[in-house]
Amino acid sequence: MLSDETSAHYREHAQEGWARSPAPPRGASASMYVYVPDVDEVFRRAISAGATPIAPVADQPWGDRLGGFRDPFGHIWSVATHIAVMAH
C-alpha cells in the first residue's frame, strides 16, 4: 500500500510511524516495478499528473520497455511493458 502524508490513514497512524512520505530528506527506501499494457502512455500520464522523470522510457536489453519516475509524494516507480522474449 502506498499513501501520502495527507491521507486519513497517515493521520490515524502517524504516531506509529506508518505512511510517512518517502520524499526528501528521508528518501525512498523501496520502489515499485509495475508491468502495464502501454508504458509510453502510463509514463506520459504520470508526468502530466506531476511526476518527475527519473529515466526516460527506453527498450532494455532484458526485453522490457521501461521508464522511471518519482510521483508527487516521493514514491519511486518503474513502469514497463514486456516487448521481447529472451532466448536462453
- For the chain, what is the mean pLDDT? 83
Predicted pLDDT of residue 85: 76
Global pTM reads 0.74
Checking phi first, is residue 19 left (phi over 0); if not, alpha (psi -120 to 50) or beta?
A: left
Predicted pLDDT of residue 34: 96
Question: CATH classification of 8-82 is 3.30.720.110, yes or no?
Answer: yes
Predicted pLDDT of residue 31: 82
Backbone angles phi, psi at 4, to 5 degrees: -100, 160
Give the confidence band of 4 by pLDDT, cuts at 50, 70, 90: low
What residues does each domain of the chain span?
8-82
